[in-house]
């Protein structure tokens, strides 16, 4: 027997098909491709680096596209299909609750950030808890309510629980900016405890006296579109030692 002319022409085409099939296997397993991830600035000081290290070690062939954005922007970007997954501070707008999945990831207490000079004026040890009523006259540096309602209302809740009405001094949409404004003596700020990792020598972070409020960070993605790479990232988040814990 011998091959026909048509059969003799097939091996190169077959080899190309086999190569293409081999290239698709890593994509199907989530070991290749791209994953676009957005995150709030608070996640950058504790939660995000650990997740990225673990994901990179397990899926070195997946290229991550990272974007810092507030929770409201992330929600709109997800619904529009421009990002795959986001780390947000809830809550999600009701109109998007059906189309998006949400997974609580971590919870951490709020601490008060003050400049070193203003902290010394309290006349207490730098590590001592602070009574929020001692700061009633200090301007508060906050996230804008329209852009970060979750953090805004948590801060307002802290003051409300103490029977206080805060005096809003400055607004900023990034934690780095908020801490810089505190450093410049523009006021105090209620920030997640992980902000201690943001080294700023002229800012002191102190716990709140009594039972302070905490802030939650969660993972959000489109229910109907879970790629293999995204499924791998979600699994890494789910496998954290404690789903809701201090960062």
Query: What tens digit of pLDDT does each residue of 189-240 get?
Result: 999 998 888 777 789 998 988 766 788 999 999 999 999 999 999 999 999 8
Using the structure block, give the residue that is written with the tokens 């008060």.
Answer: 112
More confident residue, 37 or 200: 37
All structural domains of the chain with their residue ranges: 24-106+216-238, 108-215
| Token pair recorded at residue 14 | 């077959």
Query: Can 24-106+216-238 and 108-215 be said to share one CATH topology?
Result: yes
Residue 95 phi, psi dihedral angles, 5° rounding:
-70, -15
In this predicted structure, what is the pLDDT of residue 35?
98
**CATH topology classification for 108-215:** D-Maltodextrin-Binding Protein; domain 2 (3.40.190)
Nearest Cα neighbor of 171 from 148, 194, 154, 153 is 148
Confidence of residue 15 (pLDDT cuts 50, 70, 90): low
pLDDT digits (tens, 9 = 90+) for 142-181: 988 887 788 888 888 888 888 899 999 999 988 889 999 9
Is 161 within 8 Å of 213 (Cβ atoms)? yes
Half-sphere exposure of 183 (CA within 13 A, CB side): 12
pTM over 0.75: yes
- Residues 56 and 61: their CA atoms lie apart, in Å, by 8
Structure tokens at 61: 């062939």
Determine the Cα angle at 225 with ends 224 and 229, to 5°. Answer: 145
Give per-residue pLDDT as tens, 83-138: 999 999 987 666 666 789 999 999 999 999 998 887 776 666 667 788 888 888 89
Superfamily name with CATH number, domain 24-106+216-238: Periplasmic binding protein-like II (3.40.190.10)
């Amino acid at each position: 027997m011998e091959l026909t002319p048509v059969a003799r022409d097939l091996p190169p085409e077959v080899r190309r098909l086999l190569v293409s099939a081999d290239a698709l296997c890593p994509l199907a397993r989530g070991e290749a491709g791209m994953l676009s991830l957005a995150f709030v600035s608070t996640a950058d000081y504790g939660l995000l680096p650990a997740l990225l290290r673990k994901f990179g070690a397990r899926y070195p062939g997946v290229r991550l596209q990272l974007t810092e954005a507030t929770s409201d922007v992330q929600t709109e970007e997800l619904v529009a299909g421009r990002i795959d997954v986001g780390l947000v501070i809830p809550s999600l707008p009701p109109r998007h609750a059906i189309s998006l999945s949400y997974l609580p990831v971590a919870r951490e207490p709020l601490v008060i950030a003050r400049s070193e000079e203003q902290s010394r004026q309290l006349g207490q040890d730098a590590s001592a808890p602070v009574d929020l009523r001692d700061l009633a006259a200090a301007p508060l540096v906050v996230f804008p309510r329209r852009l970060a309602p979750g953090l805004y209302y948590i801060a307002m809740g802290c003051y409300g629980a103490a029977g206080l009405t805060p005096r809003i001094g400055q607004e900023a949409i990034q934690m780095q900016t908020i801490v810089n404004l505190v450093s410049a003596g523009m006021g105090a700020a209620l920030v997640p405890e992980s902000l201690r990792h943001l080294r700023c020598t002229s800012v002191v972070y102190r716990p709140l006296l009594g039972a302070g409020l905490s802030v939650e960070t969660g993972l959000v993605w489109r229910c109907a579109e879970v790629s293999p790479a995204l499924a791998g990232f979600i699994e890494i988040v789910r496998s954290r030692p404690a789903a809701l814990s201090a960062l």
